Amino acid sequence: MSNQLDQLFEQFYIQALNETVKAVGPVERKLTLKMSLLKLLGDFSKLEEERVYKEGCIIETKHFESYTRELISIPITNILEIKMYVLTPKESKDNYSAVLALHGHGYGVKEIVGLLPNGEEDLSNDGIHQHFAVQLVKKGLKVFAPEVIGFGDRMLTRDKEQGKPNSCESMATSLLMEGKTLAGLRIWEARQILNYIETCQDVNPDRIGMMGFSGGALVTSYTAAIDLRVKATVLTGFTNTFQGSIMAMRHCIDNYIPGILNYAELPEWISLIAPRGLFIEAGIHDPIFPNKTVMAAIQEIKEAYDHRPEKFDYHIFEGGHQINGENSYQWLKNQLV
């Protein structure tokens, strides 16, 4: 016998989608969604008013055979700073293509730049992040890898003292009570980093891309959707439908944006990136972003690239919830040349 509560919540989902306004042209629809997304993410205009414009400082530098890794600190407001690793190819240039690389859940940015939680070099590279910032710099791209707020060194004191793996729940619930979202704060920070990248004298501001994994792909997708400076995007371990992923099983609270389903399902939000470059990477055995709904999402997103098919590609690899990179790294480099 069918559970009536299952029917009730399926009805809520259908009603939400049916109430979205689609009786407008595609251009108007796209503009409406972008404006709605900014509103749904929360108002961070106060942070804009508190912006400071100071140069970042280099905390440490380490040289490798093919690249240099710097840890820098960038002041954003009087009380907010972002620590970020900058990986620069040894081949000297004055117009690098740049990538903003965002990690997912784990022990923070160290996980994508080749470091263990204690700061020592990780020689194994067997984690789900696959040191993907290092793989990108080895392709000749200048990589900017910030510590996403809520992870690693950027956790709330109470969560550090309690030994929690991150501050997602603490930060998200506080922001929700204030009409804001953690996704919104992370996207706001990503856009501030794009501002910084544009000022780097050795970066070509017309050749900036983004790559994100899991929760980092959420931030990447919405940032690229609303910020035209992002010319090419790689999403790994995220592309799906809301119904097939974050509404079907337990996910971190940082995935949830109140009211977003009243405007569109996830594939249409991701499609806002079109016609700029987009590459989707997904493991066929990913347990939290199931392949069946990955493929359904890809088919819908693909339609947004009917007139620019060369700007869209995807790779479904034999694996789970992890970075692969077999095709995505080179694709991203090709898009940014």
Indicate the pTM of the whole model. Answer: 0.96
Beta-bridge partners for 48: none
Q: Give the domains, in start order, of the chain with CATH numbers.
A: 4-335 (3.40.50.1820)
DSSP H or E stretch at residue 99:
strand 96-102
Q: What is the pLDDT along the chain (337 residues), one digit of tens a residue?
A: 468 999 999 999 998 988 776 667 888 999 999 999 999 999 999 999 999 888 889 999 999 999 999 999 999 999 999 999 999 999 888 899 999 999 999 999 999 999 999 999 999 888 999 999 999 999 999 999 999 999 999 999 999 999 999 999 999 999 999 999 999 999 999 999 999 999 999 999 999 999 999 999 999 999 999 999 999 999 999 999 999 999 999 999 999 999 999 999 999 999 999 999 999 999 999 999 999 999 999 999 999 999 999 999 999 999 999 999 999 999 999 999 8
**How many of the other CB atoms lie within 10 Å of CB of 72?**
19
Residue with tokens 């009087």: 78
Beta-bridge partners for 278: 233, 312
Structure-block tokens of residue 137: 């710099």
SS (H, E, C) 219-251: HHHHHHHHCCCEEEEEEECCCCCCCCCCCCCCC
